Amino acid sequence: MLEKGENKEYLPIEGLAAFNKATAELLFGADNPVIKQGRVATLQSLSGTGSLRLAAAFIQRYFPEAKVLISSPTWGNHKNIFNDARVPWSEYRYYDPKTVGLDFEGMIADIQAAPDGSFVLLHGCAHNPTGIDPTPEQWEKIADVIQEKKHMPFFDVAYQGFASGSLDEDASSVRLFVERGLEVFVAQSYSKNLGLYAERIGAINVVCSAPEVANRVKSQLKRLARPMYSNPPIHGARIVANVVGDPVMFGEWKQEMEEMAGRIKNVRQKLYDSLSAKDKSGKDWSFILRQIGMFSYTGLNKTQSDNMTDKWHIYMTKDGRISLAGLSLAKCEYLADAIIDSFHNIS
């Protein structure tokens, strides 16, 4: 960028055109009919949080009667965002503490029971904080219910490429809904997968029923963005556009994501092996292998998590979530000792 002598003039309200093109193509696939037909409204926004907040303002203004359904549990900021935008929300069941897995029946029942035309907030991949994702078959069933209830799917995609190591695989849930002809909201973030945390780079995408609808939606999103933050940052947007637009750099990035996702999978395996070898109680720890992404939900409660910190000096969130990105293979056995002690000896 320095060599090209690029300046720091303001971007348009909707952001950098090359970034918006690249981000929509990464999400939906470059040859997706919705892109070719001009049915996607894309606005560069302030990473995942800003994209969610902009969409929340859109919901509040144009769907004032609608409610948003949020998974229980979810990322800590989701509720703040909708509260701040004055959008009412309620929770749908997601995590089952008995299996440390997905409460799929509860999830479906709650989505079914919600008033028709609700917005359903879904994590595209690598659910935060649980690391528990629906299977492809379960995604089909979720799409059935959402379609039947005339709900609006709203995906938060913060880890594309970072969960499985494949950009396409991690976008498959979103693409399934789009393929069915549904209108869909999708917030994106480049904090994790490209390490652009402080650049605040992301986008809100709205897949619409027709190109003229997409134009109107984009126009209204711009009206909301202008008094909120005026226009988005250019530096990180150029990084994304340059990396995706250069075949060599794009190939390097994809390889690095594969390596990172592979490292996290190895750490998961080592942690599972250590727990299984050390724990003589017969407890099944295989949920660790079924989870995906940088987080693992250990099933430890607040008191047990406090013991992890106070006695073992392992720092984690109080809901029992650990970040595997901060775990090396060498530390897996120590962590396993701490988890076993906290789980069995602290009530």
318 is catalytic: no
Among 4, 23, 11, residue whose Cα is nearest residue 196: 23
Active site residue 75: yes
Q: Is 320 exposed, middle or buried (0-12, 13-18, 19+ CB in 10 A)?
A: buried
| Catalytic residue check, 192 | yes
CA-based nearest residue to 155, from 38, 236, 74: 74
> Which value, in Å, is the radius of gyration of the alpha carbons in the chain?
21
- Name the active-site residue from 75, 89, 253, 285: 75
Q: Is residue 62 classed exposed, middle or buried when 0-12, 13-18 and 19+ CB atoms within 10 A define those classes?
A: exposed
In Å, the largest CA–CA distance within the chain is 64
Specify the amino acid at residue 31: D
Residue 131 CA to residue 119 CA, distance in Å, equals 22
Q: b vs e for 12-44, b when ≥16 Cβ sit within 10 Å of the residue's Cβ?
A: ebbbbeebbbbbbbbbbbeebebbeeebbbbbb
Q: DSSP string covering 261-307, please? A: HHHHHHHHHHHHHHHHHH-TT----THHHH--SSEEE----HHHHHH
**Residue that the structure tokens 């990180």 belong to:** 236
User: Which of the residues 156, 253, 270, 285 is marked catalytic?
Assistant: 156
- Catalytic residue chosen out of the listed positions 192, 218, 253, 270: 192
Positions marked catalytic: 75, 156, 192
